[in-house]
Amino acid sequence: MSIIEALIIGIIQGATEFLPISSSGHLVLLPEVFNMTNPDLTLIGLVHAGTLLAVLIYFRQDLWNIVTAVLRGLPQRQPFAEADARLGWLIVVGSIPVGIIGLLFADFFEEVFSSPATAAGFLLVTAVLLVIGERLLSGKKELAQMTWTDAVVVGLFQMIALFPGVSRSGSTIVGGLARGLDRPTAARFSFLLGIPAILAAGLQAILEIFSVNGRDFSTAVYVVSFIAAGVTGYACIHWLLTWVKKHTLYGFAAYVALFSVIFLGVSLLGR
């Protein structure tokens, strides 16, 4: 893999992890479209680590408040007394569904991930979800008003993103909108909820590194991809949180639908 390809892979992961257009779908499809070298397990782990670092830095104050509030509440046997502590437990509850299903059906989703046509088809699912989310938008609920049911529902929506081509941020934002959250609040909770999921994906990829012999690419390739994913991810978090204050998700829906249709059309014509 060249340095340019490494840069592109990092940018793809950084942008698509947080924009509601599916990182898994793009990591499967774009190398196929542009005849790029497929990333190895080491590279996949590192770009996930880059986006994890981006979200940790961006929400560092929120995370500090959550962790310290949880630690204060536990010894006092009042784990939900503070709003930040309660938010932390909502994130835990919302992460349980995808954790259970991901572990139970890991081999199945890994097999599905290997099919570009399947990833392209599920991009259409992302488009439909985003349109439905906008149609469901009706509330102005903020994080402090979220219920345990809200967290579970958003967590169930996150499970859909185990399929390649279904956006994790898109599905969880839609889940939030379905429960009456406004767009900025749904996006913010989506990013916070994504931290355990991104951490798990990165750790899984890194652990799998030890089951293969050696590395396929140079150190420079890994460093460039890691930095590109982190910088792009940080920028996209900020941009999306600003964008959703005044704009809908229809543009993202149109993009992923068009990308899917073009890829599937070209694939069929190429047979």
pLDDT tens per residue across span 196-238: 877 877 676 666 655 555 556 667 888 888 899 999 999 999 9
User: In the 8-state DSSP scheme, what is residue 79?
Assistant: T
Task: Extract the residue ranges of the chain whose pLDDT is less than 70.
Answer: 33, 38-42, 103, 105-115, 202, 204-218, 267, 269-271
Q: What is the pLDDT of residue 253?
A: 92
* pTM over cut 0.85: no
Q: Considering the chain, what percentage of its residues have pLDDT values greater than 70?
A: 85
What's the token pair of residue 87? 């938010």
What's the pLDDT at 79?
A: 80
What per-residue confidence (pLDDT) applies to 107?
64
Quick one: pLDDT at residue 54? 92
Q: Are 155 and 15 in contact (CB under 8 A)?
A: no
The CA distance from 271 to 226, in Å, is 36
Domain extents for the chain?
3-58+105-264
Spatial distance between the Cα atoms of 75 and 207, rounded to a whole number of angstroms: 34
